[in-house]
Amino acid sequence: MVDPNELLETVLGDVDGILLFSPTTSFYEQFVDADVDVVVVASENDLDADPFVELPVAFQDVYDRVRFGIEGALEQGLLDDGDVVACISSVFDEDLDTVSRVRVDADSTSGVYDLFENTRAEPDVLRSVLELVIELGKKGQKGQPVGALFVVGDAGKVMNKSRPLSYNPFEKSHVHVGDPIVKVMLKEFSRLDGAFVISDAGKIVSAYRYLEPSAEGVDIPKGLGTRHMAAGAVTRDTNATAIVLSESDGMVRAFKGGSLVLELDPEEY
C-alpha cells in the first residue's frame, strides 16, 4: 500500500520555495522555520510576512491566482526562472486545502502582475475599476448584458486623444471611482456610448469620450471589436491602462502598452 505521506513528499520535496496564498496565522507559523523561502501572497499583509506579494484581486480560479503570485515573486526577485515551487491555496473553503507543484517559466508570464504594480495609476484605483467592471459583467444593466470601457491613468493625454460624445456629467467634480455611491452612478452611465476617463489617483475626469488614436498597428486577438481596438490604441499612445467589458461575450479584458495583458470571466469572481 502506498503511503500518502510519500506521495505528498513528491509534491513538496526538493522545492526551491513555497507560496502560501492567504494563510491563517497558525498555518503560516508552521512554515516560518522551513528550509526554503516562504512567500505569502494575500490581499493584505496582516501577518507582517517578509517576503510578501500583494494580491489585488481575489482570483477564484487557482490557475490565475498561482500565476499572479509567481509573477509577483519573479518581479520582486524572490524566485528565479526554472525554480520549482509548491503553491498552497484554498479551493473549497477558507482553509488551505490544495497544493500544486509548479516550475517557474519567466518566458511565459502573462503581465497580470505588471498591470497592477508597474503603472502610473495607483493600484487601489485599478482594483476599484476592475471590481466595478467585474460586477457589471456579472449583473449587467437591469439584467441585460452591457459593454463598457474605462481608461485609467495619464488622463490629460487621454483627454487630448479623445473628444466628447455628450455632456460630461463629471465636469468640475471631484468624485472618486472607489466611492460606493459613485459606482452606482457609473453603472447607470455605462449603458451609454463612450469611454470613462479616470485619473491616476482615481478622480473621474470624464464620461462619454470617443477615443481617437489610430488603430493602425494595434494587434488584438481576432473576434474582438471596436472597444477593444480603441483600448489597445489609446494604451499604446499613452501611459494609461484600459479595462474593457465585452457586451458580446461578457469577458473582462485589460490592455496596457497596446497589448492585451489580462482576460477574466466575471462569473468566476
User: How do residues 147-190 score in pLDDT, each as one tens digit?
Assistant: 899 999 999 999 999 999 988 888 888 889 888 888 888 877 87
Exposure string over 164-197, b if 16+ CB within 10 A, otherwise e: eeeebebeeeeebbbeeebbeebbebbeeebbbb
pLDDT surpassing 70 at residue 3: no
- Answer whether 4-113 and 120-268 agree in fold: no
Name the class of domain 120-268: alpha beta
List the domain boundaries for the chain.
4-113, 120-268
**How far, in Å, CA of 33 to CA of 107, rounded?**
31
pTM: 0.74
Higher pLDDT among residues 62 and 161, named by residue: 161
**How far, in Å, CA of 153 to CA of 203, rounded?**
10
Residue range 4-113 in CATH 1.20.1050.140: no
The pLDDT of residue 97: 81
The pLDDT of residue 265: 85
The pLDDT of residue 241: 95
pLDDT band with cut points at 50, 70 and 90 for residue 61: confident
The pLDDT of residue 237: 93
pLDDT band with cut points at 50, 70 and 90 for residue 205: very high
